[in-house]
Copies of this chain bind each other. A is one copy, B any other.
Amino acid sequence: MIKLDGIHVSTEIKKQIATEVLALKNNCKKIPHLAAVLVGDDGASETYVNAKVKDCAEVGFQSTLIRLPSTISENELITEINKLNNNDAIDGFIVQLPIPKHINEQIIIKTIAPNKDVDGFHPQSVGKMALNLHTFIPATPLGVLKLIEHYKIETAGKHCVVIGRSHIVGSPMSILMGRNAYPGNCTVTLTHSKTKNLKEICLTADIIIAALGKPEFLTADYVKQGAVVIDVGITRVKSDLTKSGYKLLGDVKYDEVSAKCSYITPVPGGVGPMTRAALLLNTLFAVKK
| Contacting pair B180 A187 (CB below 8 A) | no
Of the candidates B133, B156, B174, B180, which one forms a contact with A178 in the assembled complex, judged by CB atoms under 8 Å apart? B174
Contact of A125 with B by CB under 8 A: yes
Nearest-CB residue, chain B, relative to A184? B194
| Contacting pair A192 B178 (CB below 8 A) | yes
Interface residues of A in 157-183 (CB under 8 A from B): 157, 165, 167, 171-172, 174-175, 178-180
Of the candidates B128, B185, B191, which one forms a contact with A123 in the assembled complex, judged by CB atoms under 8 Å apart? B128
| Contacting pair B157 A178 (CB below 8 A) | no
Q: Smallest CB–CB gap between A45 and chain B, Å? A: 21
Contact of A106 with B by CB under 8 A: yes
Contact of A2 with B by CB under 8 A: no
Contact of A236 with B by CB under 8 A: no
Contact of A196 with B by CB under 8 A: yes
A126-B126, A128-B123, A131-B126 in contact; A187/B178 too (CB < 8 A)?
no
- How many copies of this chain are found per oligomer? 2
Kindly list chain B residues whose C-beta atoms are within 8 Å of the C-beta of A130: 126-127, 130, 167, 171-172, 175
Contact of A122 with B by CB under 8 A: yes
Kindly list chain B residues whose C-beta atoms are within 8 Å of the C-beta of A186: 194
Contact of A103 with B by CB under 8 A: no
Contact of A145 with B by CB under 8 A: no
Nearest-CB residue, chain B, relative to A120? B127
Contact of A225 with B by CB under 8 A: no
Contact of A124 with B by CB under 8 A: yes
Docked complex Cα distance between A175 and B174 (Å): 9
Kindly list chain B residues whose C-beta atoms are within 8 Å of the C-beta of A188: 189-190
Docked complex Cα distance between A123 and B186 (Å): 23
Q: Which 3 A-B pairs have the closest CB atoms?
A: A127-B127, A123-B127, A126-B127
